Every structure is written in C-alpha cells, then in structure tokens.
Structure 1
Amino acid sequence: MADSTEHAEYAETFALVDGDDDGLISADEFADLLARLGQGRDTERAAAAVAVLDSDGDGRVSLAEFTRYMAQGG
C-alpha cells in the first residue's frame, strides 16, 4: 500500500491528467495527456489504458484506482 508521501505524489500526477477536476480520469482526458506528451491523441490506446486501471468498471479511473496501480509498480 502507498504511504502518505507516495499518495500525495500520485494525487499531484492524477490532478494533471484530470482535466475537468471531477476526481476521475476518462479515456478522453488520458488521450489529451498522450497528445500533450507528443504521442498523438490515440483514443483507442487511451481507452485500453483506462480499462486496465478501472477496477470498479465505471469506465473512469479514480484517485484510489490510480494510486493502487502506481503503488504496485504501474
């Protein structure tokens, strides 16, 4: 499990991707990140990445899901 320092670091990274500040990362927001990183706005790749992190099946990634994934070496 992530300690509080790691959690805070993950929260900062999460906030950079969560463009609408709703506390969830959508495939569109992840695609926007890919584009900002110069990798093209690949919606299929973004949807696949979100599916990997989305443990509750709602189609979006919460901070808890993101933190759990990152703490496991994601």
Structure 2
Amino acid sequence: MTARPASSYDEAVRLGRIDPAASAYGAHLRRKGVLRPLPEPVALLDTTPRDEAAATLAEVAEAVLKRIHL
C-alpha cells in the first residue's frame, strides 16, 4: 500500500489547529439546508460608551464654564 500525501486538512488536524469533531458537527444538516448558514458580519459602531461619556463630560464642563463666566 502506498502512502498518500497529507492534505492540508490532515496537516491541520495533526498540528491541533482543527478539531475534526467540532468542524464536522452539523455539516450534514447544513448541507441539506436544515441549519441556516452563518449570518453576514455586522458593521461595528464607530463610538463606544466611553467616547459618549467623555463627550457628555465635556459638554457638562463647557456648560458649567459658560455659567461661571456669565
């Protein structure tokens, strides 16, 4: 029996990069259309709650300074 060359999948399994059981789980259902494919990625927001809080603090500080100067 001749040895076949290792495929990239076999190499990844051998190196522990892929868990064969996890990668095959649900594949038969996904092919039949029972399981929906993964949704498209959603764009993330440009601002974070920290940015909004910093902006709010700056607005409050500006309002206080305006009242003091009046």
TM-score relative to the length of structure 1 = 0.22
Q: Which has the higher contact order (CA 8 A, sep 6+)?
A: 1
More strand by share: 1
Greater C-alpha radius of gyration: 2
